[in-house]
Structure 1
Amino acid sequence: MKRNFVYLLAALLISAASCSFTNKSFDNPDKDKLLLDLISYVLENGHFEPKDVDDNFSKHVFDNYIKALDPLKRYFLQSDIDEFKAYRLAIDDQIKTSDLTFFNLTYDRLMQRMDEATAIYKDVLKKPFDYSKDETIDVDYENLSYAKSKDELWERWRKQLKFSTMERYANGMSIAETPMEESEKEMTPSGVEEVPGEVSTENETSEKLPKDPVALEEETRKATQETITEYFDFMDDLERKDWFVMYVNSIVEEFDPHTFYFAPEEKDRFDMSMSGKFEGIGARLQKRNDNIKIVEIISGGPAWRGDEVEVGDEIMKVGQGDETPVSIVGMRLEDAVKLIKGPKGTEVKLTIKRVDGTIDEVSIVRDVVELEESYAKSSVVKKGDKAFGVINLPKFYIDFDNYKNRNAASDVAKEIEAMKKVGVEGLVLDLRDNGGGSLKTVVDMAGLFIEEGPIVQVKSTGKGKEVLSDTDERVQWDGPLVILVNELSASASEILAAAMQDYKRAIVLGSKQTYGKGTVQNVIDLNQFLRGDNEYGDVGALKVTTQKFYRINGGSTQLEGVKSDVVVPDKYSYRDIGEKDQENPLPWDKIESVQYKSWSGYIDYEATIERSKARMANNSQLKLIDENAKWVKKQQEDKEYPLSIEEYQAQIEKDEETLKRFREISDYQTNLSFESLPYEIEMMSKDSVLKQKRERWHSNLSKDVYIEEAVNVLEDLENNIENGKLADIRK
């Protein structure tokens, strides 16, 4: 279906290109103007519900773009905004004529204001902060007006920097006033327990801590300056093209929240996130000041296998094979990454500065690097003498170039087979925080749990309804099934949960509703529409909403999401994070249902749900989680904070009293035990990093009240088999 759409759109665009993209307006070598024309045409002809690009459209683009440029209102003055407003109703006309006047004006002014802000923050941080002064800061930036003068802007920066510094100052005072014996027992301000013996003597501690409030104030102010300097260093690395991408996305996101323009580098990152792999050395990098450091070595990758680089090493130069190495000191991070990444089998030479100051040259042969955390992982759960399985799926990943390569559906099928070999009696599919991914993998995965039948209905741009079905009668798993969801389970996750719920194949346990993203996007390579020799270089890609999907019962998951069979509170319960809380979401609607036959196994399906609801209603852990979620929501609604240390500490002490109770949430312990499957245990014997990751995951699972209840539900369903209440259809 995706292929059909691309061919259709390609035909439209190529036809348009042959008659439209050769006129004199495209003789201008300005790549940005060409990009606007390409995107406008694709949106007009390819979007599921294209919008009229008119004055109303222009107003929304203007407001969102200005907000994106200066979200904290610490750069622009009110006079700037007044000047910009001359274009508030003209952006639609500029889009149609490829006019960049508005963008150029805002970009030039932002660069000017950011230079001025650099001078302001340095000036502010020269002077000590007076923490005895009775004043407040308003962080309701949405409703905050722009500063009317540079003096007012300076004052705004002063308050923001004081607020940032005061937390450090208050924490420093707290540590300085705590006796050594107590500091080893108490919780630190960050909520992490101190490890006795980390600090050897009280004298050594006193040397590291400021001796008086004046010294502490100076030290914390200096720390704030280092942080804000790093921020401006990052901003300085951004080029004009980066800001233009922001402008373009302010335009395309007016169509809906999921239509998005990818600059060439961003498209590569998107492909990597969808496939869970890339070609390179297998290290995560971070730029700090002018230095690029290794912050993580990816397990199983070339750097990990070679064991010649370590976390903390600083990369000074990069050489390609026998070529002369190039210094990357001061280089933009993404430009340095381009040099370090490369095709499988090629050699890269890194000049490394070790943590101890020594300098070495290391040669690494690039290879395919798989991001293990992107893939499905599983654990066997032991409860008494029974074993159950948990499969955690972070996303519905796929290799767009070759579906036969590793993908979510085939990986889950392998995990199920491994689970069956160790005799698990029920299965939990954990889709919490799963933001979606490939539509094809959803259909294939749903087919693992039913004999055959429709999975999802899809309406496409300019086409009628299409029903995607599982046509394979084989059932990979026919035992009890629970699907865990939360407010961040979106898109593909919702398709799978909805299908299993409609078939009454699984019990869905989790949030009141899932995210509510009922749309499908296709990524269109814009370069395919440039004929002949392309003098502009790579122009990127556009992720555009081209389809809307519907449950087999006819209802859309758009905005409404999937309602859980058993609703349990979680930390997101009172936050505005769903599709309905985004700007410009497509509306909810309904179409006719299709014929499907409910799963014939669960005779006691509804009774099992009611028993789970009763357990959850009396669960003290869930009640505490719900209280905490409400408290966090209230904290987020408070937009004014004191800037006097006395009031600030009083508020912190009050909050600490409340938080003491909520810390009990992390102390919760189930009676479940977890272990990896045999094949993974063998892998962990050679991979200590993987072993640590799994041990940490198992530790978290053992404290997870949602996993605990999912296992309870599986146990109820399995007991029904033993008691003859469930039609055992296993083959």
Structure 2
Amino acid sequence: MKRLPFILLIILLTGSFFAFKSSMARTPPGKYEQIMGLVGQLLVQGHFSPQNIDDNFSKKVFDKFMDDLDFEKNVFLKSDYDSLAALYATRIDDEIKGAPVQSFLAVSSVFDRRIQETAEWSQNILAKPFDYTVNESITLNADKLQYPTSTAERQDRWRKKLKYLALERYVDLLDERTANKNQKGYVVKNDTELEKQARSRTDTVIGRLFERYKAKYRDEDKFDMFMNDIANTMDPHTSFMAPVDKRYFDEEMSGVFFGIGAALQQVDGKIKITSLNAGSPAEKSGQLQSGDIITKVAQGNGPAEDLMGYNVQDAVKLIRGKEGTIVKLTVRKTDGVVKVVSLKREKIENDFDTYARSAVINDPVKHTNVGIIYLPEFYAAFDDPNGRRSYLDVAKEVQKLKDAKVDGIIIDLRYNGGGSLYDVVQMVGLFVGKGPVVQVKGRINKPDVLDVKDESVLYDGPLAVMVNEFSASASEIFAAAIQDYGRGVIIGGTSTFGKGTVQRNFGLDAKNGITYGESDLGNVKLTLQKFYRVSGGSTQLKGVESDIVLPSYMDVLKLKEKDNKDALPYDEIAKADYMPWKSAWNLPEIKALSEQRLKADSSFKVIKENSQWLVRENDESSLNIESYRQERKAIKEKSDQMNAAQKLKNKMDVTLIPAEANKFAKDKNKEERAKQWLKILSEDIYLNQAANVVDDMVNIDRLAKNTAPPAHP
């Protein structure tokens, strides 16, 4: 088996972990020390390209942790940073190696003290009117800021933040008054009253921020952040997760979780129920309705945890749990009545939002029907042999589209962040057949070529793959293989994200050290290997460059792998033995046809120019109301132009496969989401370009075969 080197590596690592565990047992550490020790051992002995755990590494972790706590540079003073750095910036490596944990506790203590000061300042600052005639500005790009050198400077920076937030609300209120002053029943307030109301609304928003600090910035939470910063310093995709975060991650990957079946939204700082899944515990109870506010959550007969300061994701983590267990919700009904609702968690399958789905783009003028398969991630229920797998679901959608007689297929991998390696390999096989798909290389072993054994090809027609700057990992493997084989056309931004590394999860257990299952101390997602294309180049850092580049706002945001200073480098190995695909169309011809369309389409020129302007303009804002209005007007105009440019003037006809037209009729929530999805697709300028490319491939193929277009019903 070609996977043997990887398995041997895991076995070798396991041996070293057990050796470490026995040495740790001689001096029983506290919880923090034990976690840091286990994480350190994992990083040094298991990481694909480990850095030395030394003072230099320690300094990078220290700076990352300080920045995560105070990314706006308005909490810590420069003197705080200097004094903490002098004592702890070079100590973290010692703590990883067994020294008592002091660094994050010291930083946490200063942070808590400064936050308390800031909360008191906020009340005093917002108690007085702001003068919006003063010519001053606020820097919004945190990368351009340093820590304030004095309390006065820090206080002034915080004052500007509050003034900016209040100014946003004040201008909104003034505009609202102008628009509604002649409306019957509308109470017209003067400028002074509106300015006061704007400060009151700002106080509410900031109050929620401080409530969140209280709820989610306890020492335990900050330690989790600290450990994740240690892991991230090795590379951006090595990470630490607390047990509840790991469970949430697994649920999102599988599309299956155990909960109550209610969709939640944060509205005015409160966790509100927006809809109930048909047949779910929430719906069957008859005690919950859309609009109810969840104020507290209790696990069985345990104490209730107040949700004040929680965001939706944090609330969801509390409400979900093991199948069959009880969760008790304290709910404020829409009529003001407060009641406690006890629910037994059941299996919830988030099939519409998580799993592959398809639609058909109908073009009677061009006599083509193009299928689109949307895949949000390469999901797999790893713990359930009967669970959903992405490649099997995609195969089903491909077959449905073939049965519907589509002329070509688009695979939409935009925003697909990756997932199961096995599934992406098998999915490439659906379109290419037998052959290598990706090469995987570990720290010490030779490359392992992952291939498809089955010679059969499910679909051999015209194919396009849509990607964007957030298509990563498994998405890049798929796009790279399709590109290297010449099997289809890659359409998107200049390149995909650039994550070409393989991770594996390891549990940290108080009794057993390193585990592969449940863990009580947390989990480490560790980078063990690197991906390489069959053509030899890595997808790491460079990503996959699109065959046809469509200008995108995201291309200028600097959010790709190459923009992270801790990212692993790009490199190349020998190419694998593979046979490129033979087709009637050729890429230069397809690109030339696409370029002609793009030149004639002013929309993409607007997107490119306006996106670059918006990024520059949003770095700073005036706090003078007249200048602010002018800036906002210019920004709104550019933004509106760009948003309009991204929507087709003549919508495409996009429908579900005829056989599935009433697929969601029994679930109104899913039916509404399906309608909204089809509407979004029909207006999507990027999808329209992809459909045009597939049309070109279809027509070239027809010419080569000398066949007329079929009559579509």
Under a length normalisation based on structure 1, what TM-score does the superposition of the two structures give?
0.89
Whether 1:451 aligns to 2:433 is: yes
CA distance in 1, matches of 2:321, 2:202: 37
**Alignment counterpart, residue 22 of structure 1, candidates 15, 18, 25:** 25
**Alignment counterpart, residue 544 of structure 2, candidates 528, 537, 562:** 562
Which residue number in structure 1 is paired with residue 52 of structure 2?
52
CA distance in 1, matches of 2:520, 2:140: 40
Which residue number in structure 2 is paired with residue 392 of structure 1?
374
Name structure 2 gaps, 5 residues minimum.
709-713
CA contact (8 A) 1:484 1:710 kept: yes
Which residue number in structure 2 is paired with residue 65 of structure 1?
65
CA contact (8 A) 2:38 2:514 kept: no
Q: CA deviation at 1:338?
A: 6.1
Whether 1:721 aligns to 2:701 is: yes
Whether 1:481 aligns to 2:463 is: yes
Secondary structure of 1:369 counterpart: strand
CA contact (8 A) 1:571 1:629 kept: yes
Is the alpha carbon distance of 1:583 and 1:284 closer, same or farther for their aligned partners in structure 2, counting shifts above 3 Å? Answer: farther
Which residue number in structure 2 is paired with residue 251 of structure 1?
230
**Alignment counterpart, residue 221 of structure 1, candidates 199, 212, 232:** 199
Which residue number in structure 2 is paired with residue 315 of structure 1?
294
Which residue number in structure 2 is paired with residue 187 of structure 1?
none
Equivalent runs, 1:428-439 vs 2, <5 Å: 428-439=410-421
Which residue number in structure 2 is paired with residue 196 of structure 1?
none
Is the alpha carbon distance of 1:394 and 1:305 closer, same or farther for their aligned partners in structure 2, counting shifts above 3 Å? Answer: farther
Q: CA deviation at 1:414?
A: 1.0
Is the alpha carbon distance of 1:652 and 1:680 closer, same or farther for their aligned partners in structure 2, counting shifts above 3 Å? Answer: same
Secondary structure of 2:589 counterpart: helix
Q: Deviations over 1:657-697 (max 9, x none)?
A: 44453353255234521111245433321111112111111
Is the alpha carbon distance of 1:306 and 1:683 closer, same or farther for their aligned partners in structure 2, counting shifts above 3 Å? Answer: farther
CA distance in 1, matches of 2:577, 2:463: 23
Which residue number in structure 1 is paired with residue 674 of structure 2?
694
- Aligned identity (percent) is 37
Secondary structure of 1:472 counterpart: coil
Is the alpha carbon distance of 1:315 and 1:325 closer, same or farther for their aligned partners in structure 2, counting shifts above 3 Å? Answer: farther
CA distance in 1, matches of 2:108, 2:559: 30
Which residue number in structure 2 is paired with residue 153 of structure 1?
154
**Alignment counterpart, residue 553 of structure 1, candidates 515, 535, 538:** 535
CA distance in 1, matches of 2:692, 2:307: 56
CA distance in 2, matches of 1:180, 1:546: 64
Q: CA deviation at 1:35?
A: 0.4
Q: CA deviation at 1:287?
A: 6.9
Q: CA deviation at 1:301?
A: 3.9
Q: CA deviation at 1:227?
A: 0.4
Letter in 2 for 1:274: M
Secondary structure of 2:399 counterpart: helix
CA distance in 2, matches of 1:593, 1:532: 36
CA distance in 1, matches of 2:585, 2:634: 52
Which residue number in structure 2 is paired with residue 173 of structure 1?
174
CA contact (8 A) 1:301 1:370 kept: no
Secondary structure of 1:476 counterpart: coil
Q: CA deviation at 1:222?
A: 0.3
Name structure 1 gaps, 5 residues minimum.
182-201
Q: CA deviation at 1:97?
A: 2.9
Letter in 2 for 1:464: K
Is the alpha carbon distance of 1:352 and 1:679 closer, same or farther for their aligned partners in structure 2, counting shifts above 3 Å? Answer: farther
Which residue number in structure 1 is paired with residue 711 of structure 2?
none
CA distance in 2, matches of 1:652, 1:266: 39
Which residue number in structure 2 is paired with residue 191 of structure 1?
none
**Alignment counterpart, residue 654 of structure 1, candidates 612, 624, 634:** 634
CA distance in 2, matches of 1:47, 1:667: 45
Secondary structure of 2:524 counterpart: strand
Which residue number in structure 1 is paired with residue 661 of structure 2?
681
Which residue number in structure 1 is paired with residue 563 of structure 2?
581
**Alignment counterpart, residue 336 of structure 2, candidates 357, 361, 367:** 357
Is the alpha carbon distance of 1:336 and 1:453 closer, same or farther for their aligned partners in structure 2, counting shifts above 3 Å? Answer: closer
Secondary structure of 1:455 counterpart: strand
CA distance in 1, matches of 2:36, 2:512: 13
CA contact (8 A) 2:378 2:420 kept: yes
Which residue number in structure 2 is paired with residue 132 of structure 1?
133
Letter in 2 for 1:94: E
CA contact (8 A) 2:440 2:448 kept: yes
Letter in 1 for 2:91: A
CA distance in 2, matches of 1:544, 1:49: 11
Letter in 2 for 1:428: I
Q: CA deviation at 1:601?
A: 2.7
Which residue number in structure 1 is paired with residue 17 of structure 2?
13
CA distance in 2, matches of 1:613, 1:528: 60
Is the alpha carbon distance of 1:329 and 1:50 closer, same or farther for their aligned partners in structure 2, counting shifts above 3 Å? Answer: closer
Q: Deviations over 1:373-400 (max 9, x none)?
A: 1221211111114322101111111112
CA contact (8 A) 1:318 1:325 kept: no
Q: CA deviation at 1:164?
A: 0.8
**Alignment counterpart, residue 260 of structure 1, candidates 211, 214, 239:** 239
CA distance in 2, matches of 1:671, 1:654: 28
Letter in 1 for 2:21: A
Deviates more, 1:711-720 or 1:507-516: 711-720
Is the alpha carbon distance of 1:540 and 1:700 closer, same or farther for their aligned partners in structure 2, counting shifts above 3 Å? Answer: same
CA distance in 2, matches of 1:305, 1:720: 55
CA contact (8 A) 1:13 1:529 kept: no
Q: CA deviation at 1:226?
A: 0.3
Q: CA deviation at 1:473?
A: 1.3
Letter in 2 for 1:407: R
CA distance in 2, matches of 1:653, 1:292: 33
Whether 1:494 aligns to 2:498 is: no
CA contact (8 A) 2:18 2:514 kept: no
**Alignment counterpart, residue 669 of structure 1, candidates 616, 631, 649:** 649
Over the aligned positions, Cα root-mean-square deviation in angstroms equals 2.7
CA contact (8 A) 2:614 2:635 kept: no
Is the alpha carbon distance of 1:120 and 1:550 closer, same or farther for their aligned partners in structure 2, counting shifts above 3 Å? Answer: same
Deviates more, 1:81-90 or 1:226-235: 81-90
**Alignment counterpart, residue 278 of structure 1, candidates 257, 271, 274:** 257
Letter in 2 for 1:204: G
Whether 1:88 aligns to 2:89 is: yes
Secondary structure of 2:663 counterpart: helix
Q: CA deviation at 1:344?
A: 3.0
Q: How many pairs were matched up?
A: 695
Equivalent runs, 1:367-378 vs 2, <5 Å: 367-371=346-350, 372-378=352-358
Secondary structure of 1:509 counterpart: strand
CA contact (8 A) 1:509 1:565 kept: yes
Is the alpha carbon distance of 1:175 and 1:164 closer, same or farther for their aligned partners in structure 2, counting shifts above 3 Å? Answer: same
CA contact (8 A) 1:720 1:726 kept: no
CA distance in 2, matches of 1:306, 1:706: 43
Under a length normalisation based on structure 2, what TM-score does the superposition of the two structures give?
0.91
